[in-house]
Chains A and B, each alone.
Chain A
Amino acid sequence: MGPNLFINYGEAVAMLLFGIGFGNLLLQSNLIKKIIGLNIMDTAVYLFLAEKGYIAGRVAPIVADGVQDMEAYINPIPSGLVLTGIVVSVSVSALMLALTIRLYRRYHTLDLDEISRQLKKEGL
């Protein structure tokens, strides 16, 4: 496992970043920090995909200079998945930010625990 980990350092970094993002999204009580965690987590997955799709010495699959040989290009599907994933994560982040603004206007704080406390006081 040791040498494998060193060769695939890109994937290892992606997993570390995923853990950091996951932990932030789960444990932070500040909403903005949670959203930052969400973005780190998603980006880590994209790094993992990009790392997996890359083949050393080849270029992005855009035909240039008339080279049609398959051996010259990397696998385009992971890149396509990354693009789709980015669209999803942008929309989710936008929704979360909109919700955060709503909560901030109402309770003047970004702390989710503090908001829960105020809600209990309201007795809704």
Chain B
Amino acid sequence: MDFVQNFPCFSVILCLFAGILSSGLKDKAAMRVNTCLLGIVTLLSGATLLYTLQTGQSFVYVMGKFPAPWGNEIRAGVLEALTALFFCVIMLLSLLGGRHKLLEEVESGKTYLYYVLTDLLLSSLLALVYTNDMFTAYVFVEINTISACGLIMIRQNGRTIEAAVRYMIMSLLGSGLLLLGLCMLYDLTGHLLMSNMKESVARLAATGQYEIPLIVAIVLISVGICIKSALFPFHAWLPDAYGYSTVSSAAILSSLVSKGYIFLLIKIIYRVIGFDIYGDTRIIDVLFAFGLMGMIFGSLSAIKENDVRRMIAYSSVAQIGYIYMGFGMGTEAGMTASVFHILSHAATKSLLFIAAIGLTDVSGGSRKFIELTGAGYRNKWAGAAFTVGSLSMVGMPLFSGFISKLLFAQAAVQNHVKMLPALIVLGVSTILNAIYFMKTVIRIYTPVGYSAYPSITFVKMRVYAVTLVAFILLNVILGISSQPVVDMIRQGLAMFS
């Protein structure tokens, strides 16, 4: 066994230990531990990615050396390592970009708790990405929920606590369904490891035995994860949770937490149930329909919104719709597009949240559109970053959003039944996206003769500006040299099955 094969396990354990260690540290020290941790885990994930690319196959790490049907396993392939690497980079940038707001909005002496929560969140995300055991996945889903709830309510006002309660209620409904579905699947197959479950499910599907319970279990798991990742009709908690929490939390929640659940669903589709059996259950049609509705209604709500943070939050609903639409196509190409969109949306949405905070800061802290007039001149870095994020969301060439839209369109053309609705909604949604994002960009670049608010210079916000530049670069790299990433995703998905 190569030493690199230990890295996925190391990263999860390191995060857990860093969380425990940080709970006894002062604010500054906890922040440093967190930054070091993110750096180390990024390196470990990068090494894992290189290793899997070189060997060209995935590997299984057996925890505690208990062999397959009994022990707990970690599995890493190209896709897992790529996602883990990406999650770490986005989390690092989100935390750096929102650091000054965190210090402002959270009582001093309590910010170390924020870093404890992010450490735990990262550990649960990595565990969701790497685990090969369904019950472990459930436990880490709950850890993820609890730490995400903490991230929402770390900024103490009535709004955030209410948002946290609503978030918890929806999440708990989702995890209840997930747990029930998982127990049914365990009952049907007699296994908890994904690979063993898949064999049993294939056997059940071939013989037609227990057909209805199997479908019920699949439906329960899918609906549970849809609720947790805020697919369209279950998105009521989302605007408050993203709109009022501190900015790093909003960026992390929108780009990582919901994506972690979606990644788990991808793993379940490929590694537990099997892509073809999942496609035969027709639940993908339901996902497709709700994905399309989310794309339209999310954008419509965003257009109506008069608050820039809530607008970006509603745009997340539309983007989650895109991802589920890709699932709903039921083809390999649709899946690839969805996975690419997970990465692209994570990079863009966190950029938008971080840039929006720079704009509202130079507008007297108000988030209303009228106050934002000319904010792009007062904070040039944030203005440029917001423009890049908006263009990427709308789907301009050069930026990552274009590639994901292109991949979705290509996937739609391959599926004859769903081509027409998918392409029409894709077009409509792009126009709606353009309406609200371009409206904001024009607003922040409308000159005002006299401004009551002062401009801000580079010297005062070095870390913030560097973070924004890194985000922009990430977006442009994903947009220009997307082919290697898409190839990696294809290779990773092939390793899944």
Chain A interface (Cβ within 8 Å of chain B)? 18, 21-22, 25-26, 31, 34, 38, 41-42, 45, 48-49, 52, 77-78, 81, 84-85, 88, 91-92, 95-96, 99-100, 102-103, 106-107, 112, 115-116, 118-119, 122, 124
**Measured between C-beta atoms, what is the minimum distance from A96 to chain B in Å?**
6
Asked if residues B164 and A99 are in contact (CB atoms below 8 Å), the reply is: yes
Q: Which residue of A lies closest to B163 (CB)?
A: A119
**Of A45, A96, A119, which contacts B179 at CB under 8 A?**
A45
Q: Which residue of B lies closest to A1 (CB)?
A: B212
Residues of B within 8 A of A88 (CB): 138-139, 142
Asked if residues A124 and B142 are in contact (CB atoms below 8 Å), the reply is: no
Specify which of B145, B149, B164, B183 lies most central, judged by the most chain A CB atoms within 10 Å of its CB: B183
The interface bits of chain B over 126-165 (1 if a CB of A lies within 8 angstroms of the residue's CB, else 0) are 0000000001001100100110010001000111011011
**Of A26, A99, A106, A124, which contacts B168 at CB under 8 A?**
A99
Asked if residues A95 and B146 are in contact (CB atoms below 8 Å), the reply is: yes
Q: Which residue of A lies closest to B170 (CB)?
A: A26
5 shortest A-B CB distances, which residue pairs?
A88-B142, A41-B176, A124-B159, A52-B187, A99-B165
A-B contact pairs, 10 of them (CB 8 A): A38-B176, A45-B183, A78-B186, A91-B146, A92-B145, A95-B146, A96-B168, A103-B165, A112-B165, A115-B162
The interface bits of chain B over 91-123 (1 if a CB of A lies within 8 angstroms of the residue's CB, else 0) are 000000000000000000000000000000000
Residues of A within 8 A of B146 (CB): 91-92, 95
**Measured between C-beta atoms, what is the minimum distance from B274 to chain A in Å?**
23
**Of B135, B142, B169, B176, which contacts A45 at CB under 8 A?**
B176
Asked if residues B159 and A119 are in contact (CB atoms below 8 Å), the reply is: yes
Asked if residues A124 and B173 are in contact (CB atoms below 8 Å), the reply is: no
Bound complex: CA of A124 vs CA of B245, how far in Å? 12
**Of A22, A77, A118, which contacts B176 at CB under 8 A?**
A22
Bound complex: CA of A107 vs CA of B165, how far in Å? 14
Residues of A within 8 A of B162 (CB): 103, 112, 115-116, 119
B16 at the interface (CB under 8 A from A): no
B68 at the interface (CB under 8 A from A): no
**Measured between C-beta atoms, what is the minimum distance from B373 to chain A in Å?**
22
Given contacts A38-B172, A88-B142, A119-B159, contact A52 B183 (CB under 8 A): yes
Number of interface residues of B (CB under 8 A): 29
Asked if residues B159 and A49 are in contact (CB atoms below 8 Å), the reply is: no
Residues of B within 8 A of A45 (CB): 176, 179-180, 183
Q: Which residue of A lies closest to B184 (CB)?
A: A48
Given contacts A106-B161, A107-B158, contact A42 B176 (CB under 8 A): yes
Residues of B within 8 A of A77 (CB): 192
Bound complex: CA of A85 vs CA of B180, how far in Å? 11
Bound complex: CA of A54 vs CA of B354, how far in Å? 53
Q: Which residue of B lies closest to A82 (CB)?
A: B183
Known: A25-B173, A112-B166. 8 other contacts (CB 8 A): A45-B179, A95-B146, A99-B161, A103-B161, A107-B158, A116-B162, A124-B157, A124-B159
Residues of A within 8 A of B159 (CB): 119, 124
Bound complex: CA of A102 vs CA of B172, how far in Å? 19
Asked if residues B183 and A92 are in contact (CB atoms below 8 Å), the reply is: no
Bound complex: CA of A92 vs CA of B158, how far in Å? 21
**Measured between C-beta atoms, what is the minimum distance from A111 to chain B in Å?**
12
Asked if residues B173 and A26 are in contact (CB atoms below 8 Å), the reply is: yes
Asked if residues B165 and A22 are in contact (CB atoms below 8 Å), the reply is: no
**Measured between C-beta atoms, what is the minimum distance from B424 to chain A in Å?**
33
Residues of B within 8 A of A42 (CB): 176, 179
Asked if residues B173 and A102 are in contact (CB atoms below 8 Å), the reply is: no
Residues of A within 8 A of B179 (CB): 42, 45, 85
Q: Which residue of B lies closest to A84 (CB)?
A: B139
**Of B149, B158, B164, which contacts A124 at CB under 8 A?**
B158
Bound complex: CA of A48 vs CA of B386, how far in Å? 50
Q: Would you list which residues of chain B between 440 and 495 have a CB under 8 Å from chain A?
A: none
Bound complex: CA of A96 vs CA of B164, how far in Å? 9
Bound complex: CA of A115 vs CA of B158, how far in Å? 9
**Measured between C-beta atoms, what is the minimum distance from B62 to chain A in Å?**
18
Asked if residues B158 and A106 are in contact (CB atoms below 8 Å), the reply is: yes
Bound complex: CA of A106 vs CA of B153, how far in Å? 14
**Measured between C-beta atoms, what is the minimum distance from A48 to chain B in Å?**
6
**Of B157, B158, B165, B192, which contacts A100 at CB under 8 A?**
B165
Asked if residues B180 and A99 are in contact (CB atoms below 8 Å), the reply is: no
Q: Which residue of B lies closest to A88 (CB)?
A: B142
Q: Which residue of B lies closest to A100 (CB)?
A: B165
**Measured between C-beta atoms, what is the minimum distance from A94 to chain B in Å?**
10
Bound complex: CA of A38 vs CA of B179, how far in Å? 13
Q: Which residue of B lies closest to A51 (CB)?
A: B187
Asked if residues A122 and B139 are in contact (CB atoms below 8 Å), the reply is: no
The interface bits of chain B over 353-375 (1 if a CB of A lies within 8 angstroms of the residue's CB, else 0) are 00000000000000000000000
